[in-house]
Amino acid sequence: MKKYTTKFLKCLLLAVFTMQGVYALDAGTADSWKEPTEAQIQDAAADRLPLSAEEESGERFCGPNSEVTRYYTNVELTACERKDPYSPIGHMTYRNTTGAPVLLRYAQDWQGETKTTDWDVTDNIRDRGDIKAAVISKIEQTLGVSVGMSTTTPRSGTVLGTMTIPAYKTGTISAYHSAVEIQGTVLWQDADGSGTVYATGREKIGGAFIIDGVYLKKDLQESR
């Protein structure tokens, strides 16, 4: 009887340990986790900076401080170009059929409406003020122009520009808002409160920032 009792206890303990192992395995499985797609893996690899030897070894998979924050810094522009014109806001045309020069004036009031042009940028610029400020600073340093998120030309009788149309010529003043188009990257780092960095990479940035004011294009042709 003692022989069978000992054997029974061993089997019972084995079953308990086995069930504990199964429970621990199940408890560590997150139902919400999804395998990344091949496209997501390739996109992450394309934007990632070369890893350090420590990162390659996988020794810093997670840090002692669970509060890891993503920081952005070091904006680099690979393209920064002024676009004149960018967005049309109106035009005035006059055909001079007289034998004397005529002065053509452009005012937004004659277009009948106020015109606003908004920026068109990537989400990381739109959503983060620090990235936006860094890019604007880079643009101003590079081109010497002030840019922002939008510009508005109100309906007004204020004359924004003029041109002299000679006899028997047709003149046109076209008004536009201008922009600066950029492309580049921004460095990101995942770090904890102690300053330990666990991951780093670069995100693409791009889009058009709006220059305040009005750009006028003048054209002169023979009258028919």
Least confident of 50-64, 96-110, 152-166: 50-64
Please enumerate in sequence order all residues whose Cβ is within 8 A of that of 162, keeping only pairs 6 or more positions apart, or say none.
Answer: 103, 104, 105, 106, 173
Q: Residue 126 phi/psi, 5° resolution?
A: -65, -35
Give 193's pLDDT tier (boundaries 50, 70, 90). confident
| pLDDT tens digit sequence for 75-130 | 999 999 999 999 999 999 999 999 899 999 999 988 878 999 999 999 999 999 99
Which residue segments constitute the domains of the chain, with CATH numbers given? 69-222 (2.170.15)
Q: What's the pTM value of the predicted model, to 2 decimals? A: 0.66
- List the structure tokens of 102: 């005529």
Residue 63 confidence (pLDDT) above 90: no
Taken as a whole, the chain contains a residue count of 224
Task: Give CA–CA dist 176/91, Å, rounded.
Answer: 9
User: Which backbone phi and psi does 147 adopt, to 5 degrees?
Assistant: -130, 165
